[in-house]
Structure 1
Amino acid sequence: PIWRKNKNELKPEDYDRFYMDKHFGYDKPLKCIHTKVEGVVNYNALLYIPSQPPYDFYTKGFQKGLELYSNGVLIMEKCSDLLPDYFSFVQGLVDSPDLSLNISRELLQHDRQLRFISKKINEKIKDELLSMLKNDRDNYEKFYKNFGKQLKYGVYADFGANKDALEDLILFYSSTEKKLVSLDEYVSRMKADQKYIYYAAGDTIEKIEKLPQTEAVKEKSFEILYCTDDVDEFAIKTLAKYKEKEFKSVSDKDLGFESDEKESKKVTEENKELFDFMKDSLNGKVKEVRASKRLKSHPVCLTSDGELSIEMEKVLRTMPNGQNIKADKILEVNTNHEIFNTIKKAFADDKDKVKVYANVLYNEALLIEGLPIEDPVQFTNDICSLIK
């Protein structure tokens, strides 16, 4: 069979033909990995990275696994133990003379030789993907478009057990490069005074570009990674850091800008009575109202306090029994914006009007985050009352 032939005897079209003849896929594969190992355990492996996901890849009916042979005799059509879930897209086969023909599926799960083969195969797949990322970027990005989400789920799954194996393979869109970049590329460009790897989460790149929370980080010319997949922020929270650089959301309570933080605390203290009144008028919807250190041109935004971000709340609330999950929200007000002077004047003259302003600003901030407004009718009435 083809997998037992010497690689020098075979042409790319031979591998492609075998791939399609075996019904691994109907398009040419993106990458073929043909390897022969002799040593503690002997085996041949012929692995394919598809150019397109299998038609049932994202369904419950999809079965991962490689064909398993012993000396050319098929033992198992789908040996799932050879591949972790994050490499479940890989198609192909493994042939080892060291495996018994009569071994049962139950015994295979505990077979030391099979575990050794699995370990070596997964190391080989990772090495080939890293090589593709470095030397064949266009094809890697094609691969990543189809299967990148699977890698990020792999980072997050099993409490981060595989994060070190996968962190160099994941990509995010960059605010400065306007393309997908790796974490290694990001860190290599970090400025001398930059402490953190900054990221922002949202539905699309276009929406993230407009987020008020990005203004302060962009003003310092720091690069921001854009997270547009549901799993992205969960993966980043699992990673926690990369090459000793911690991740920091642009919506975190503290951005790590010490001078800005001191100024924000000072202004918040100066306006404590007003901010406390605004917080109380929102009836527990926010944990705090404070002066913003991140807003430059926008009047208001929401940030989060704690491990659960606003974007993570949105994801979790779409799941069964997730409707009551809520992030601790902070309403940040731009004290340099003209609307703040209007609110301060109203606080001195007409406190009921401040309640209306607080609700309007809070609902505006919800809309920016893509969160639903609890009472749209009241919101429109509030706006109309301010226009009068």
Structure 2
Amino acid sequence: MSNAAEKPVENHVFEADVARLLHLMVHSVYSDKDVFLRELISNAADACEKLRYEAISAPELLSDDPAPRITLTVDADSNTLVLEDNGIGMSRDDMVEALGTIARSGTRAFMERVEAAKAGDGTQLIGQFGVGFYSAFMVADKVDVISRRAGSGHAWLWSSDGKGSYTVSEADLAQAPARGTRITLHLMDDAKSYTSKWSVQKIVKDQSGHVPVPIDLIEKPGAEAERIGDGTALWTKSRSDITKEEYADFYRGVSGQYDEPALTVHFRAEGRHEYTGLAFVPESKPLDMFDPSAKGRMKLYVKRVFITDDAELLPRYLRFVRGLVDTSDLPLNVSREMIQESPILAAIRKGLTNRVLTAIEKLADSDKDAFAKLWEAFGAVLKEGIYDDFERRSQLIALSRFRTTTSDEATRSLADYVKDMKDAQAAIYYLTGDNLDRLKASPQLEGFRARGIEVLLLTDSVDSFWVTAAPDFEGKPFKSITQGAADLTQVPKADGEAPAAPETTEAVTDFIAFAKTTLGDAVSDVRASDRLTESAVCLVAPEQGYDRQLEKLLQGSGRLDMIAKPILEINPGHGLISALASGGNTEFRTDAVQLLLDQARVLDGDKPQDPRAFAERLSRLFERALKG
């Protein structure tokens, strides 16, 4: 470049306020400085694409160097980063037009030419706004550009510190590329990391590893070039051309996991919006799947250039899905915040979500064992969608699988449940809790089990919420067996015994009245139960409000100040109740009633409300029994 300085130098003033533009890029257009390399690589890829297009009618432009390439050279000694391409290059007028005018994109002008000539088939250009090049000034206090247009006998040097002016002069051909453009960034002191081979390689692979031009990296001047981008993108290939092993390798790279993908969804959407989606459902749970702050891990590309991994391409209940979307409908040079508000992104999100759920549905129909493993890993998260996603609620409910009182260790769909419902059964019954074994031993199940009525056993936290959002399935409402009356008198028992209301003697009726008076405000009611067949007592929630488990969750999370007073149900046919109803003094019966309430609390997974009083009552009963 020293020889070029002896040639006449033209001084120019930028046609826009560069300082204001750089401030805009730092604070609005770009979220981090690393994107400058993405922008320069995108411009270089466009230059190679332009040459490919013009060489269709003028093949001599390729001379003896037909293969496009981009080369990066880092030099820690001189604190520079050099990017060179062998694309179309620029003439003097091109330089003044493209680099001297902020936001006037040569790419846009070229596209207009292509469209005017109606010869744009296959031409894919990345940059569209003309501000990408100036992102270099976020990391460099001086930028030199030497360019030689294909087929030209002259080369030109453009140089600027980005503060308001630039120079253009003719460059020595001996120091210019044979064709294309070389950009030298004289890095700021706080940007020395961009002279590290590993830093640059990581940025390129993360953000530009799939541009359609091979990318080489030279660790220092004179060293051998190492290829870090092969110019191909897996997702642009036909599915029939990609092996299972290639999909698995790509999945591991994009997800950072080491398992196999349980499900691969690869498609190209055409129509109003065109984009390619490649999504993977992992085989095992990601470590952050239940992190409240965890977001999706789908990457967004625009024309094979990485934009962000922070775009909401899938709803939260599909946050375990890994992969990417590549579209040409979104602009490249916009902030991530603007992308999130884009109606185009909303359309892509809807289409991608539908594709993923449809693929999961197909797996459920075609491979029940594989789907069972998928559901075991991600069912708890998918059920969040029943609560959150009204549009797809029916689809997600039908997709869901549940353990029930009749399924043993397997799971069943609601369609299976409804098909096997009893003739007089009017609702889909469920029981929620945090432990499957405890649910199976719940006294509230006894009457249902005696009548052969299947009950869903729901152990995920979200289960207590989605059942309140889902009004019904195939016309059958959901009903908690721990809330309100059981209404089992219309269903005959499994042994064929005719349905009947529980028999309650006068003595038991009097005992129930005594218990209600004794317990007072501790419960909202005491009544005979038709759901108990083996246990003496149980607790249920009132008909209105929340069921027992949901109340506990809401109170535990601080969203409910007070829980409703429970109903104590008493089994009128139990031997203990008959014995208590038939005798004993008032003091003894009072202790017995309080202990029955504490027993019901323990069976419900709670502890006695007053442990000391519980112990004292139990001691008095032991003393009475020992005295005979």
Question: Is this a same-fold pair by TM over 0.5?
Answer: yes
CA shift, 1:78, in A, is: 2.8
Corresponding residue of 1:372: 607
Aligned with residue 464 of structure 2, among 227, 230, 233:
233
Q: Give distance in 2, aligned partners of 1:336 and 1:118.
A: 58
Return the letter of the residue paired with 2:368.
Answer: R
Q: Is the 8 A contact 1:316 1:325 kept in 2?
A: no
Corresponding residue of 1:316: 554
Corresponding residue of 1:72: 304
Note the alpha carbon deviations across 1:206-238, whole angstroms, 9 max, x for none.
211211111111111111110112221221122
- Structure 2 counterpart SS, 1:181: coil
Of Structure 1 and Structure 2, the greater helix share is in 1
Aligned with residue 337 of structure 1, among 558, 574, 580:
574
Aligned with residue 176 of structure 1, among 406, 417, 425:
406
Kindly indicate whether residue 541 of structure 2 is the aligned counterpart of residue 304 of structure 1: yes
Q: Look at both structures and tell me which one has the larger radius of gyration over its CA atoms.
A: 2
Kindly indicate whether residue 458 of structure 2 is the aligned counterpart of residue 223 of structure 1: no
Correspondence list, 1:113-124, <5 A: 113-124=344-355
Kindly indicate whether residue 233 of structure 2 is the aligned counterpart of residue 4 of structure 1: no
Identity %: 30
Corresponding residue of 1:88: 319
Note the alpha carbon deviations across 1:249-289, whole angstroms, 9 max, x for none.
2223222334589735x849985543232122123111111
Aligned with residue 356 of structure 1, among 586, 591, 600:
591
Q: Give distance in 1, aligned partners of 2:475 and 2:276.
A: 38
CA shift, 1:32, in A, is: 0.9
Aligned with residue 33 of structure 1, among 261, 265, 269:
265
Change (3 A) 1:263 1:55: closer
Change (3 A) 1:153 1:119: same
Which blocks of at least 5 consecutive residues in structure 1 are unaligned? Answer: none
Aligned pair count reads 382
Q: Is the 8 A contact 2:433 2:439 kept in 1?
A: yes
- Structure 2 counterpart SS, 1:102: coil
Corresponding residue of 2:94: none
Which has the larger displacement, 367-376 or 307-316? 307-316
Aligned with residue 48 of structure 1, among 280, 286, 296:
280
Change (3 A) 1:186 1:328: same
Aligned with residue 372 of structure 2, among 128, 141, 151:
141
Q: Give distance in 2, aligned partners of 1:130 and 1:269.
A: 56
Q: Is the 8 A contact 2:254 2:322 kept in 1?
A: no
Change (3 A) 1:282 1:95: same
Return the letter of the residue paired with 2:592.
Answer: Y
Correspondence list, 1:271-310, <5 A: 273-305=510-542, 306-310=544-548
Q: Is the 8 A contact 2:489 2:530 kept in 1?
A: no
Change (3 A) 1:269 1:86: farther
Corresponding residue of 1:249: 480
The TM-score, its normalising length taken from structure 2, stands at: 0.57
The TM-score, its normalising length taken from structure 1, stands at: 0.91
Q: Give distance in 2, aligned partners of 1:269 and 1:252.
A: 27
Corresponding residue of 1:57: 289
Return the letter of the residue paired with 1:352.
Answer: E
Q: Give distance in 1, aligned partners of 2:311 and 2:490.
A: 57
Q: Give distance in 1, aligned partners of 2:293 and 2:343.
A: 29
Change (3 A) 1:237 1:296: same
Q: Give distance in 2, aligned partners of 1:99 and 1:191.
A: 54
Kindly indicate whether residue 358 of structure 2 is the aligned counterpart of residue 127 of structure 1: yes
Return the letter of the residue paired with 2:529.
Answer: S
- Structure 1 counterpart SS, 2:334: coil
- Indicate the RMSD between aligned Cα atoms, in angstroms: 2.3
Return the letter of the residue paired with 1:173.
Answer: R
Q: Is the 8 A contact 1:201 1:228 kept in 2?
A: yes
Q: Structure 1: which 4+ aligned runs deviate by more than 4 Å?
A: 258-262, 268-273
Return the letter of the residue paired with 1:354.
Answer: R
Q: Give distance in 2, aligned partners of 1:118 and 1:362.
A: 52
- Structure 1 counterpart SS, 2:617: helix
Change (3 A) 1:240 1:267: farther
Return the letter of the residue paired with 1:45.
Answer: G
Q: Is the 8 A contact 1:24 1:91 kept in 2?
A: no
Q: Give distance in 2, aligned partners of 1:43 and 1:148.
A: 28
Change (3 A) 1:23 1:292: closer
Kindly indicate whether residue 467 of structure 2 is the aligned counterpart of residue 203 of structure 1: no
Which has the larger displacement, 237-246 or 363-372? 237-246
CA shift, 1:204, in A, is: 2.0
- Structure 1 counterpart SS, 2:549: helix
Change (3 A) 1:3 1:321: closer
Which has the larger displacement, 87-96 or 191-200? 191-200
Q: Is the 8 A contact 2:513 2:526 kept in 1?
A: yes
Which blocks of at least 5 consecutive residues in structure 2 are unaligned? Answer: 1-232, 492-498
- Structure 2 counterpart SS, 1:92: strand
Aligned with residue 328 of structure 1, among 554, 558, 565:
565
Return the letter of the residue paired with 1:366.
Answer: R
